[in-house]
């Protein structure tokens, strides 16, 4: 009896949420490893020429993730909305493992492309569903830290790749990283389906069972509100079931969605948050580590040592960011940390420019080390956790799939443009010019984001959605009536 009591003491809703979220977190670690793998792959192939790569082929190999990420996002939208959130995470894990197998067997450029395609689609699927699934699994008071664990996991994966990259070649490294990707697949098999997905399919009893298993009975108000909202939506839609009407609904769905404030504003926010994430300097520095390191220090000596120290610092910063998100409002964090990101990007641009032209009265490697590490600290504490947290909080339930598609499309375009253009921009304006350009993009995106972004801390997903719709917290009946009216107007 005592043993059962002790077991019940530690198996709380929080521990159950931790287990469910771990399927996403482990998957994100695998995604981080795919990103960190680029440093070993490209730097070694440049030196050994084992598989010859010119600027065009290298840029295509690096930027292919932008295209495949989009493909994965489209695949995920169908899997997530039709089959479920859990199958989407399982598919992402399987594709990551297939990618590592391709790299471990690769002996030609096409084989490398196949590995990149597998892993790019995996990132597109997992990245789209990950933060959404965490938001649907977890309680509002835990949601911010849990979602912030996603960028932390990505950074852990990057750190794992860079650390083992000091000891293994790119071929052997892929086999090592394959081993680290297996736990994510195993945990995903035993994780529950999302309550939000179950409610959209009308499986209300199963939804209640999973929701209470995850959160206990203290949050039944949110559960019943979610079920009530879905019933009203389905009742309204059933009133218009003629064939011509259904076709018309399908054809006009996207246009109708953009007419709704609770859809349009989150899309605008995420478009600019994605720009902040993609142009903060992290992706360029990770993918083209050799070029950036040489620009900072004039040599590639100790590159992996410096990269590993940057990874550790960024990881510590992101963990700090997780703590800060549970204490500080989202808008305040956004203003302070992204503003610092703008300042440090412009400072790096100025430093590299004057150093390479011998205009500094005094220069020391410590200056470059400080700026480089400060950049990674700010990225880890600000843009990375904030973009992931907010993306899991602002999308409306009824249109979450479409919002996810649009968000991933913009992310794919930004990522492809960033990675594909970087080698050519290096030759035109230099690494310093790229950092300066990114600083300007960050400044613009920050201003637009702050104009539209409401405060989401400690609010349920339904309250956030109602806020975008224009209703104050607690005005449930009015919000439901408006939703019914909008659906009738759309039809």
pLDDT digits (tens, 9 = 90+) for 132-165: 888 888 887 787 778 777 877 888 899 899 899 8
- The radius of gyration of the chain's CA atoms, rounded to the nearest angstrom, is 23
Please, which residues have CB within 8 angstroms of residue 78's CB and are 6 or more apart in sequence?
none
Residue 94: what pLDDT?
94
CB 79 within 8 A of CB 71: no
Put simply, whether the predicted model's pTM sits higher than 0.85 gets the answer: no
Q: What's phi and psi for 192, nearest 5 deg?
A: -80, 165
HSE toward the beta carbon, residue 263, CA cutoff 13 A: 20
Specify the higher pLDDT residue, 255 or 168: 168
CA nearest to 181, candidates 17, 388, 385, 32: 32
344 pLDDT exceeds 90?
A: yes
Cβ atoms within 10 Å, residue 59 = 19
Rounded average pLDDT over 112-129: 89
Rounded Cα–Cα distance for residues 244 and 249 (Å)? 9
Does the structure show a pLDDT above 90 at 211? no
Instruction: Report whether pLDDT(240) > 60.
Output: no
Write the burial class of residue 10 (CB in 10 Å: 0-12 exposed, 13-18 middle, 19+ buried).
exposed
Within 13 Å, how many C-alpha atoms sit on residue 268's CB side?
A: 18
Q: Tell whether the model's pLDDT for residue 8 goes beyond 60.
A: no
Q: Which of 46, 123, 130 is nearest to 86 (CA)?
A: 130
H helix intervals, 429-460? 430-452
pLDDT of 484 reads 56
Number of H helices, E strands in the chain: 22, 0
- Which residue, among 39, 28, 62, has the nearest Cα to 417 in the 3D structure? 62
Nearest Cα to Cα of residue 379 among 327, 439, 425, 422: 439
With beta carbons less than 8 A apart as the criterion, state whether 279 and 342 touch. no
Give the model's pLDDT for residue 169.
85
Q: How confident is the model at residue 2 (pLDDT cuts 50, 70, 90)?
A: very low
Which sign does the torsion angle of CA 421, 427, 431, 436 carry? negative
Instruction: Give CA–CA dist 29/35, Å, rounded.
Output: 10
**What number is the average pLDDT over the span 222-251?**
67
CB 436 within 8 A of CB 349: yes
Say if CB 16 and CB 213 are below 8 A apart. yes
Query: How many C-beta neighbours within 10 Å does residue 12 have?
Result: 11
Average pLDDT of every residue of the chain = 83
In 79-139, which ranges are continuous DSSP H helix?
85-105, 109-137
Using CA atoms, how far residue 116 sits from 59, 103, 153, 234, in Å, is 12, 9, 20, 41
Q: Which two tokens stand for residue 13?
A: 């809703």
More confident residue, 396 or 489: 396
Q: Which residues are CB-neighbours of 330 under 8 A, at least 6 positions away?
A: 386, 389, 390, 453, 455, 456, 457
How many Cα atoms within 13 Å fall on the side-chain side of residue 393? 30
CB 475 within 8 A of CB 482: no
Across 140-144, 178-182, 332-336, least confident range: 140-144
What's the farthest any 2 CA atoms get from each other in the chain? 78
pLDDT at 462 over 80: no
Region 406-422 average pLDDT = 86
């Amino acid at each position: 009896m005592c043993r059962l009591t002790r077991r019940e003491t530690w198996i709380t809703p929080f521990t159950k949420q931790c287990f469910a979220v771990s399927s996403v977190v482990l998957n994100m670690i695998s995604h981080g490893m795919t990103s960190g793998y680029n440093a070993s792959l490209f730097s070694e192939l440049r030196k050994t020429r084992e598989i010859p790569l010119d600027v065009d082929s290298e840029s295509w190999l690096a930027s292919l993730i932008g295209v495949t990420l989009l493909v994965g996002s489209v695949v995920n939208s169908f899997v997530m909305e039709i089959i479920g959130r859990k199958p989407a995470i399982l598919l992402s894990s399987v594709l990551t493992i297939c990618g590592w197998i391709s790299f471990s067997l690769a002996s030609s450029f096409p084989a490398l492309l196949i590995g990149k395609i597998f892993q790019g689609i995996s990132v597109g699927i997992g990245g789209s569903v990950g933060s959404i699934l965490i938001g649907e699994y977890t309680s509002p008071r835990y949601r911010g830290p849990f979602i912030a664990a996603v960028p932390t996991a990505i950074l852990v994966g990057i750190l794992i790749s860079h650390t083992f990259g000091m000891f293994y070649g790119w071929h052997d490294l892929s086999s090592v990283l394959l081993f680290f990707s297996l736990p994510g697949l195993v945990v995903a098999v035993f994780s529950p389906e999302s309550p939000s997905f179950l409610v959209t399919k009308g499986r209300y009893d199963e939804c209640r069972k999973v929701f209470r298993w995850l959160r206990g009975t203290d949050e039944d108000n949110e559960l019943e509100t979610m079920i009530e909202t879905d019933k009203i939506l389905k009742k309204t839609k059933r009133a218009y079931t003629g064939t011509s009407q259904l076709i018309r609904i399908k054809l006009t769905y996207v246009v109708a969605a953009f007419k709704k404030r609770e859809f349009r504003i989150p899309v605008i926010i995420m478009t600019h948050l994605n720009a902040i994430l993609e142009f903060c300097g992290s992706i360029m520095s990770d993918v083209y580590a050799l070029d950036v390191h040489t620009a900072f220090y004039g040599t590639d000596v100790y590159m992996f040592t410096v990269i590993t120290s940057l990874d550790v610092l960024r990881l510590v910063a992101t963990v700090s960011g997780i703590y800060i998100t549970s204490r500080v409002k989202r808008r305040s964090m956004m203003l302070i940390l992204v503003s610092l990101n703008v300042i440090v990007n412009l400072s790096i641009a100025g430093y590299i420019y004057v150093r390479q032209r011998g205009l500094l009265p005094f220069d020391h490697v410590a200056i470059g080390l400080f700026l480089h590490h400060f950049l990674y600290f700010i990225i880890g504490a600000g843009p990375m956790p904030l973009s992931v947290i907010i993306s899991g909080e602002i999308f409306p339930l009824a249109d979450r799939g479409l919002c996810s598609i649009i968000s991933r499309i913009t992310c794919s375009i930004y990522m492809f443009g960033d990675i594909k253009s970087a080698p050519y921009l290096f030759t035109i304006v230099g690494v310093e010019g790229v950092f300066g350009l990114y600083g300007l993009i960050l400044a613009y995106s920050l201003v637009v984001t702050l104009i539209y972004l409401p405060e989401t801390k400690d609010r349920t997903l339904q309250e956030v959605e109602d806020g975008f719709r224009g209703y104050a917290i607690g005005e449930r009946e009015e919000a439901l009536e408006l939703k019914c009216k909008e659906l009738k107007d759309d039809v």
